[in-house]
Chain A
Amino acid sequence: MKFNSDEIASVIQAEIQQFGSTIDVREVGTVLEVGDGIARVYGLSNVMSGEMVEFPSGVTGLAFNLEEKSVGVIILGDFLSIKEGDEVKALGKLLSVPAGDAVIGRVLDPLGNPLDGKGPVNATISRPVEIIAAGVAERQPVHEPMQTGIKAIDAMTPIGRGQRELIIGDRKTGKTAVAVDAIVNQKGKGVKCFYVAIGQKDSSVALVIDALEKAGAMEYTTVIVSGASSPAPLQYVAPYAGTAMAEHYMFNGGHALIVYDDLSKQAVAYRQLSLLMRRPPGREAFPGDVFYCHSRLLERSAKLSKELGGGSLTSLPIIETLEGEVSAYIPTNVISITDGQIYLQPDLFFAGIRPAMNVGISVSRVGGNAQIKAMKKVAGGLRLDLASFRELEAFAQLGTELDPATQSKLDRGYRMVELLKQGQYQPMEVAEQIISIYAGTRGHLDEIAVERVREFEVGLLNFVRDRKPELLTKIREVADLTSEIEEQIKSAITTFKASFR
């Protein structure tokens, strides 16, 4: 369409004619010192904590520290353009970011400015970055599943909509891959996804975006990037900004999934700010309120009550540990806040067990409520079986003679481990997961050689997809393991096994 320039001119003319000259009253202060993303300001005597301020260059900041004679401001943007003696203006409002459908499919910085070169964000809605989380009366227990498409997770540590499940592990153990798989699997499920990259290399963020694009997941995903080169204040606000965008869907009865990758870097950025503001350092030099920094963020993930529309916000925070040290300060904090954790271990990863989830110490405190009945029945004792298998395996390495019962338990274990391996960006649909896990836990794989288990699984699923698609739809619809469905699964497996060699 074309805009008529006369039309625009008349709008401007009308605006000028109607312009009533009002006196602009503002509260000001003077910059005393500036550096490293913070400024110390004299004046601003009535400013409130968390209030936005504006520097002459148009850069905004947040009042962070209110002291007797000065105000500490964190600068959101280019702090190099700010000089000593600049006038700082209090804006009397809180930081807010664009939200709504306009941000979907975009790559944004924590203030909502586009980074993907696709033009301005045409958002009409904006939401405050920091809000107080929904209270007890506004919530209901988590009961709907939020499938990640990863067999090991959906079967043993199921995640529900509105849950907060921590993904924790050393570097290079596939933490981001688990989160990206979960996003890819939301395709067509009406869940909006938000991936917040904090303090990461821009190259790794580009890889994630590329993977999401290839999987067609960018259609319902927003990426919020605050890379390793962006100043600490932006890294600090990034998760809150992402949450604000995601909450728009939750409060309107929709469902959203947010990934914070990773919160240990955000804690480090917060530590930097706090130390520059001369707040006293505590354990590992983190400030005393670093727990609150994470708890108030993760508390905002919720399953809202029916009266409020029943929307949900599920979060997958990621924490990177150093040399498997889960008892460090930040990991213990976040473990205690979340509703469970998925622990990824390097030795499993290098042994080829991917996702490298340690079944013994990964838990989901929401548990079975977040699974459909059929999955609950199929995967019931799987977690305990695998844990006891790990024990037996260590014992069997001693080379002792084993009785047949133990031997068969071991054999079953090896096959289950093999079955739970899954490629990256290949999320599986829940009905297919049920068929594979059924085959494993009910001993249908016992005669298959361990090396051929994956081949068998692929073949079996192809067979079901081609020959018995009605079985898959039935599992999806009934969502329970009735004896009729069980018979059908059993017969499908037997038929396929006869042809498999």
Chain B
Amino acid sequence: MSESKQTTTVFDDESMHVGQVYAKALLAASEATGNVDEMVAQFDSFVHDVLDKQPILELALANPKLPADEKVRVLDKAFAQNMDSTLLKFLKVLAIRRRFGAVRSVFQSVSNLRDEAVGRLRILVTTAQPLDAEALESVKMKLTGIFKTEVILNTKVDASVLGGLLIRVGDVVYDGSVDGQLKQLRGATIAKTEQTIRDKLSTLAS
């Protein structure tokens, strides 16, 4: 349950489309052979623990000038022992087809499609202070109760919310933060004061 970006701000229509197509294929292949969730978890770890930490590797695999068999050799050498065989084959296919540049959008699509298939909901919870395990568990219970589906919590710490919770599900934000409430209160107070002054003026004028 680490902090993770829900949406990327890099927008590439083509690579998103490619990602969608490859992700469907990977999930279908994986369903036929074995444990899909394990594969998705490994893919997550491959993207976040390997590629994020070794950007050189990603650049090399995406480089169209390197021969394909060289890339396959590197992948085999690094991951042959402990990676899910379907995932490894899939990564090789990506490398051979010169689509490794789209690996992150493939991963995004895989995780979205998997969530959709099993009815999971990813929810981003923003708080001012890091939540302890107990609090997280109770938030999770509550949200599971509301949405009536399995919930995966992503957390984010942002001091500017001041207190309370800011919950984001897809594109909808439920703002229960102190910051949001202060803003609401400010708006309401200004409106009321303005109204009072206006009423006063009109009674004086009449």
Residue positions of A touching B, CB distance < 8 A: 1, 3, 7-8, 11-12, 14-16, 19, 21-33, 40, 42-46, 69-70, 84-85, 89, 124
CA distance A12 to B172 in the complex (A): 31
Which residue of chain A is the closest to B167 with respect to CB atoms? A23
Q: Which of B9, B16, B168, B196 contacts A11 (CB 8 A)?
A: B196
B11 located at the interface, meaning its Cβ lies under 8 Å from any Cβ of chain A in the complex:
yes
Cβ–Cβ < 8 Å partners of B180 in chain A: 24
Choice from B168, B192, B197 contacting A15 with Cβ under 8 Å: B192
Residues of B within 8 A of A14 (CB): 192
Query: Looking across the interface, which residue of chain A has its beta carbon closest to that of B201?
Result: A1
A3-B197 contact in complex given A23-B174, A25-B172, A28-B172, C-beta closer than 8 Å: yes
The one of A8, A23, A33, A69 in contact with B193, judged by C-beta atoms closer than 8 angstroms, is: A8
Query: B184's contact among A11, A24, A27, by CB below 8 Å, is which?
Result: A24
Query: Which residues, 121 to 173 on B, are CB-close (under 8 Å) to A?
Result: 168, 170-173
Q: Which of B9, B172, B189, B198 contacts A27 (CB 8 A)?
A: B172
B172-A26 in contact (CB<8A): yes
Query: Are A33 and B185 also in contact (CB < 8 A) when A11-B192, A27-B172, A28-B173 are?
Result: no
Some 12 contacts from A to B, beta carbons below 8 A apart, are A8-B197, A11-B196, A15-B188, A23-B174, A24-B174, A26-B172, A32-B9, A42-B9, A43-B171, A69-B16, A84-B9, A89-B173
Q: How far is the CA of A33 from the CA of B12 in the complex (A)?
A: 12
B175 within 8 A of A: yes
- Determine whether the beta carbon of A30 is less than 8 Å from that of B7: yes
Q: Is B67 an interface residue (CB 8 A)?
A: no
Assuming the A-B contacts A23-B175, A28-B171, are A42 and B185 also in contact, with contact meaning beta carbons closer than 8 angstroms in the complex?
A: no
Task: Give CA–CA (A97, B173) in the complex, Å.
Answer: 28
Chain A residues positioned under 8 Å from B196 (CB to CB): 7-8, 11
Q: Is B181's CB within 8 Å of the partner chain A?
A: yes
Bound: A38/B181 CA distance, A: 30
- Are B9 and A85 interface neighbours, CB within 8 A? yes
Find A1's partner among B176, B181, B204 (CB 8 Å cutoff). B204
Is there contact, CB below 8 Å, between A26 and B175?
yes
Further contacts, 19 of them, CB under 8 A, given A15-B188, A25-B175, A32-B11:
A3-B197, A3-B200, A7-B196, A11-B192, A19-B184, A19-B185, A22-B184, A23-B175, A24-B180, A24-B184, A26-B172, A27-B171, A28-B173, A29-B171, A42-B9, A42-B11, A43-B171, A45-B171, A85-B9
A26 cross-chain contacts in B, Cβ below 8 A: 172-173, 175
Contacts of B181 in A (CB 8 A): 21, 24
Instruction: Tell me if B116 counts as interface (CB < 8 A to partner A).
Output: no
Closest chain A residue to B11, Cβ basis: A32
B171:A11 contact, CB within 8 angstroms = no
Q: How far is the CB of A73 from chain B (nearest CB, A)?
A: 14
Asked whether, in the complex, the Cβ of A124 is within 8 Å of the Cβ of B198, the reply is yes
| Cα of A271 to Cα of B118 in the assembled complex, Å | 46
Selected contact of A69 from candidates B9, B13, B171, B197, CB within 8 Å = B13
- How far, in angstroms, from A55 to B204 measured CA to CA in the complex? 39
User: Distance (Å) between the CB of B166 and the closest chain A CB?
Assistant: 10
B204 shortest CB reach to chain A, Å: 6
On B, residues with C-beta under 8 Å from A are 7, 9-11, 13, 16, 168, 170-176, 180-181, 184-185, 188-189, 192-193, 196-198, 200-201, 204
Question: Smallest CB–CB gap between B70 and chain A, Å?
Answer: 34
Interface centre among A14, A24, A27 (most CB of B within 10 A): A24
- Distance in angstroms between the alpha carbons of A12 and B193 in the assembled complex: 7
A25, B184: Cα distance in complex, Å: 12
Shortest beta-carbon contacts, A-B, top 3 = A24-B175, A32-B11, A43-B171
Provide the bound-state CA to CA distance between A21 and B188, in Å: 12
Q: Measured between alpha carbons, how far is A69 from B15 in the docked complex, in Å?
A: 12
Give, as a whole number of angstroms, the nearest-CB distance from A137 to chain B.
Answer: 37
Q: Closest A-chain residue to B184, C-beta based?
A: A24
- Note all chain A residues with C-beta closer than 8 A to B192: 11-12, 14-15
Q: Is the CB of B11 within 8 A of A33?
A: yes
Which residue of the partner chain B has the closest CB to A44? B171
Complex CA gap A84/B7 in Å reads 12
- Residue on A with the closest CB to B181? A21
- For A46, what are the chain B residues with a Cβ–Cβ distance below 8 Å? 171
Contacts of A45 in B (CB 8 A): 170-171
Q: B202 → chain A, closest Cβ, in Å?
A: 10
Chain B residue numbers with a CB within 8 Å of A8 are: 193, 196-197
Q: Within the assembled complex, what's the spacing in Å between the Cα atoms of A210 and B206?
A: 34
A25 to B180, CA, bound (A): 10
- The smallest beta-carbon distance between A330 and chain B, in angstroms, is 33
With CB as the reference atom, state the residue of chain A lying closest to B175.
A24
Q: Which residue from B171, B173, B174, B189 sits with its C-beta under 8 Å from A16? A: B189
CB atoms of B9 and A30 under 8 A apart: yes
Cα separation A466 to B108 with both chains bound (whole Å):
88
Closest residue of chain B to A23 (Cβ to Cβ) is: B176
Question: In the docked arrangement, what's the CA distance between A196 and B13, Å?
Answer: 40
CA distance A485 to B70 in the complex (A): 105
Complex Cα distance A19/B7, Å? 34
Chain B residues closer than 8 Å to A3, beta-carbon distance: 197, 200
Is there contact, CB below 8 Å, between A31 and B9?
A: yes
Q: Which A residues lie within 8 Å of B193 (CB)?
A: 8, 11-12, 15
A21 cross-chain contacts in B, Cβ below 8 A: 181
Distance to closest chain B CB from A359 (angstroms): 52
**Looking at A12, A31, A89, which has the most chain B CB atoms within 10 Å of its CB?**
A12
CA distance A153 to B185 in the complex (A): 57
Q: Which of A19, A23, A26, A124 has the most CB of B within 10 A?
A: A23
- When C-beta atoms are compared, the residue in chain B nearest to A19 turns out to be B185
Name the distance in Å between A288's Cβ and chain B's nearest Cβ.
Answer: 22
Give bound CA distance, A24 to B10, whole Å: 28
